[in-house]
Structure 1
C-alpha cells in the first residue's frame, strides 16, 4: 500500500530543483561573461600611454628645421680669372686677421699694371711738353710784341712829322694818309699779338687739363690694379675659423669665385626653414625655443627673409646664449617658433593620438576601459596641447597611437 510522501522530503526535492536551476543560470551567465571577455577587444595597459587633463600654460608653436650658423662670416672671392699659385692654410684651422691664406697667379695683373704706368708716364711727359711749348710760344709772342711796339712808335712819329709838313705844304696828302694807315696797321698787329698770348695760354691750359684728366683716370686704374694685385694675396678678413678654402694648387678660379670663407668663433645664430604655409603667422621679435639633444636655448626671430624658394621660407633667430659651448657650425637643431601664449587653460600631454587642432575623437580612460568621446583641441607647443572642450580637469585619456582601435567605441584595458 502506497504511503504519502512526507513534507520534509518534498521540501528537500524543491530546494534541490531550485538550487540546480540557480547553478545552471549562474553557469550560463559565467559562460556568457567569459565568451564576452574573449570576444570583446582589449589592450594591455603597458601598451598605451595615459595622461591626465590638468590646468597649465601652453604656447602655440610652429616647428621649423634649423641650422646653426655664425653671426659674422665673410667670404673672399677671386679678383679675376686666375689660378691658385700657392696654398698656405687648411680649412678648419683658426686664423688671425691679415694672415695669408693663399696666393693667386698675378702675372696678368702685373702686366696690365705696367702698361698703365707707361701710359701715365706718357701723359706726364705730354703735360711737361705742353707747358714748354706754351712758354716758348709766349716768349716768341712777347718778342714780336716788343718789335711791334717799336714799329708803332716809329710810325706814330712819322705821322706826326707828316702832319706838320702837310700844314706847310711840304708833303702831299697821299704821304700823310700812308703814314696814318701804317700807324693803324701797327696797332692792329699789336692787338693781335697780345690776343695771341691769351689764346695760347687758353688752348694750352685746355690741353693740359685734358692731359691731367687722362692722368687722373690712369691713376685710378693703376690704384684699382694695385688693389687687384693685393687681392691675389688672399688674407683673413678677421680673426676666426677658416671654414672653406680652395686647397688645390694650380686650380683655375673664375672672376668672383669664392676662394675662402672665415667665420667668427663661438658666436652663433640659427637659420630656420619652414613651409611658406605659416608665413602669415610669423613676425620679427617672436620667441623661439631651439632644441638639440634635449637642451633648450631661448631665442628671438630677428629677420624673416623675403624670398620663398620651393615652397619654404627662411628666418634668422638670435640666441640669448650665442656663445653656448655646445653649439657648432652647421649643427642641425629644432626651432619651435612661439606664435601665441595661453595661460591657465586645460592641457593634456601631446601624443600621436591627436592630429593638430579642432574636433577629433579621443579615448577617455575610466572603470578599466577606454571610451571614445569627442574633444576640441587648440594650441600646442609639441609637448602639451590645449583642451578647449569635451573634458574636465582630472580626466584621463590615451595619448599614444590609437589607430588600431579607432573604429571601436569602447575597449577593455587589461593588466
Structure 2
C-alpha cells in the first residue's frame, strides 16, 4: 500500500501541471522534492493548491499510520516511521521499513490484555507527562529549527506537530488507556499550550500561530491516533519517543537546502484619465490614502508611499512601508509608458502581534522577498489608461503549497491597493 501512497504527490503535481498546460520535467529534483514544483507554476488558484495539498496530507497521514504500524510489529524503526512523511527521506525510509522483520511470524502482533483495574480512571501523572512533553517539543523545535538553524520547512511545520500528537498520546495512554475523544482533547491542549508558550517566550507572534493552527492541529490529531494505537499494543517500551531525536537532523538538512519558490503577481485597473496624468500620480511621492484592509490588520507589510530621488534609469526610489524602508533602483523609465524598479533592500515582511516589543522570529526578514516591480500604462479608446503592475517575489518557507496562496494573496492585495489609490489620484488630477 505504501507504493500508491507515495505516488499520490507525484500524480497530484502532474495533474496540476496538466490543468494549467505547463510542461513538467521529471528530473531528479522532481522525484526528490515534487511539491517544490508548485512554486514554479505562474498563477495556480488557491483552491487548486489547497485541494492538491489536502490530498497529499491525507496520503502522508495514511503512509504514517502504515509506517508506525509496521514499526510496532517489528518493535523498531519508529524513527523511520516519522521519516516516511518527509519528502526525500521517505524514499529511503519506506523501503527499509518494508524489509524489517516482523516480531511474530504468524500474522499481526496482538496487543496485550489490559488489566481490568487499569481500564478505569485516568492516570493523571501520565496525562500530565503527555501534555507537557507536547508543549516542550513545540518550544524546543522552534528554538532549534527557526532560531538556531533559520529553517522553516517540513520538519518544523509538518513533522513537529505530528510528533507532538504521537508523543502526547503515547505517554498519556501507555498505562491507563484514554478513549479517542479524551486523547484528541489532550493533544489539542498540548498544541494550544505550545502556541501560548511561543507567544509568552517571544518566539512567535499571534498571527503566525493562528495561520499555522489548521495545519498543525490536523497533523497533531493524526499523530495522536497513531500514538494511542502504538501505546495500546503495550510492547514498544517507549521506543516511539526515540523518533524525536530525528528532528534536529531534519532541521539541519533543511537549513542546508532551503526551499525557493518564485511567485509572480499581476493586477490591472482601468483609469478614466490620460497616461500623463497617471504618470504624474505614479511619480508624485504622495501618501497612499487607501486603507490597508486585512493585510494591515494581520500585521503584514504594506506600502505607505514611494519617493523618487532623481529620474531616469539608475535613479533611486525609497519605498516607505508599514514595517520600514525599502531601497529600490529604477531599471526602466519611459514617461507615460513604463516604470520599473528592482528592490535592493527591503524591510521585514510583517510585524508580529505580540505583548513584547521584539519577537525572536527570523522569518519576518529574508523569507519572502520582492525582486522587480513593473508598471505599464496602456492607452485606451476614449482617453483612458489601463495601468498594470507586475511584480516578482521569492518565497523560502515550506510546505510551499500551504504558504504560497497566502503570500500570493498578500502581494496581490497590496498591488490592488496601490492601483486603486493611483486611479483616485489620476482621475482627480492630483
Normalised by the length of structure 1, the TM-score is 0.20
Normalised by the length of structure 2, the TM-score is 0.19
Select the structure with the greater relative contact order (CA < 8 A; seq sep ≥ 6).
1
Which protein has the bigger helix share?
2
Structure number with greater Rg is: 1
